[in-house]
Chain A
């Protein structure tokens, strides 16, 4: 009787563990946090690339209905690939593209923009990467679509912008207008 009892308990416990682990299998492997603040850090201030002056992100965002905040660097190869998309995005009405230059040398950054064109209405520099961390960034390139009225981050795009992401951004902006 005792042997049976033990066996049943162990079997039940094994079954319980099996169910727990099976549940875990269904979960997507990619980590996507859901309790992250969706507000952009408007109080963040940084120096601008072309003008030697500190400015707050909130001030830059205010100018239009939507803002795109793009973290880039001249040493980052995928940034070169996404650059044409940013130039196209900047042509859309009531949107301003703000660049954050991540851990870069100013001369290189300026040369990068001279060679490939400058889609940014303003560029903030982030020589030690801390401003980007304050925004909640993982690395370069990274792009945030921000609703300037509510200061809310509509979507974060980690990695370079490609055809799909470009279309999504355009769609989100068009939906927001109505």
Chain B
């Protein structure tokens, strides 16, 4: 009886452990796919979409994680295949520098306006 109890405990421990491992890797798939644009659907991420493209993409990400690839390697791989557009977070380059600069300019400009207002009063 004791042995049987031990067996049950061991099996359940193993199940929880395996489950946890699986959950961890699918968490990573979710994290990566949330940051990828589904290229054939409008305004959806790979995580949201149920299109064939997105489903295959998620399977591929899972496979790559199982192979031991890390996040940036996967992004790099997909960027190489589909271009930078697939990643939601744009890089700073000559096409996108305004995108990064305008909020900064606005911030400084707004700050100046406030300082002016305050100092006038």
Contact = CB atoms under 8 A, between A and B. Distances in A.
Interface of A: 2, 6, 9, 13, 20, 31, 33-37, 103, 128-130, 132-136, 138-139
Contacts of A6: 113
B59 A130 contact: yes
Given A9-B109, A35-B83, A129-B59, 16 more contacts: A2-B120, A13-B109, A31-B39, A33-B84, A35-B84, A36-B82, A36-B83, A37-B81, A103-B52, A129-B52, A130-B60, A130-B63, A134-B60, A134-B81, A138-B39, A139-B40
A51 to B, nearest CB: 24
Interface residues of B, number: 21
A152 B17 CA distance: 46
B107 interface: no
12 contacts: A2-B116, A31-B39, A33-B85, A35-B83, A36-B82, A37-B80, A128-B59, A129-B52, A129-B56, A129-B59, A130-B56, A132-B56
A139 B55 CA distance: 11
Nearest to B80: A37
Interface of A, helix, strand, loop or mixed by DSSP: loop
Q: Give the most central of A2, A103, A129, A133: most B CB within 10 Å.
A: A133
Identify the interface centre among A2, A9, A33: most chain B CB within 10 Å of its CB: A33
Given A33-B85, A36-B80, A136-B82, A128 B56 contact: yes
A6 B116 CA distance: 10
A135 B116 CA distance: 57
B28 to A, nearest CB: 17
